[in-house]
Amino acid sequence: MRSLILACFFTLVGLIFSLSSTMAQCAMCKGQLESHGNDGTSLAVNHGILYLLAMPFLLAGTVGLIIYINVKRRDKENLAGAES
């Protein structure tokens, strides 16, 4: 379990550090926003796109983690019950 947590932590850290290279989202959206001036709107839209992209993955990861923990807990209880 500890190795799973460490793997998730390092994956999250890696994603955060690679965030600057993923700031070029949709070429059409980025081109349109940058042609109207650089008032921070294009950066805000890019952050919004990343936020919308991350939410389904976070939800799926959370559900997967809950299922994984419950299965491990059930296996441990079944193993303890079989030994008695």
Q: pLDDT-based confidence at 65, cuts 50/70/90?
A: very high
The whole-angstrom separation of Cα 16 and Cα 23 is: 12
The whole-angstrom separation of Cα 70 and Cα 74 is: 6
Question: Average per-residue pLDDT in the chain?
Answer: 78
Q: What is the DSSP string of 6-47?
A: HHHHHHHHHHHHTGGGG----HHHHHHHHHT--SSHHHHHHH
Of the candidate ranges 25-29, 62-66, 79-83, the one whose mean pLDDT is the lowest: 25-29
> Running DSSP on this structure, what letter comes out for residue 1?
-
Domain extent for 16: 2-83
Query: Which pTM value belongs to this model?
Result: 0.50
**Quick one: what percent of the chain has pLDDT higher than 70?**
74
Q: How many domains does the chain have?
A: 1
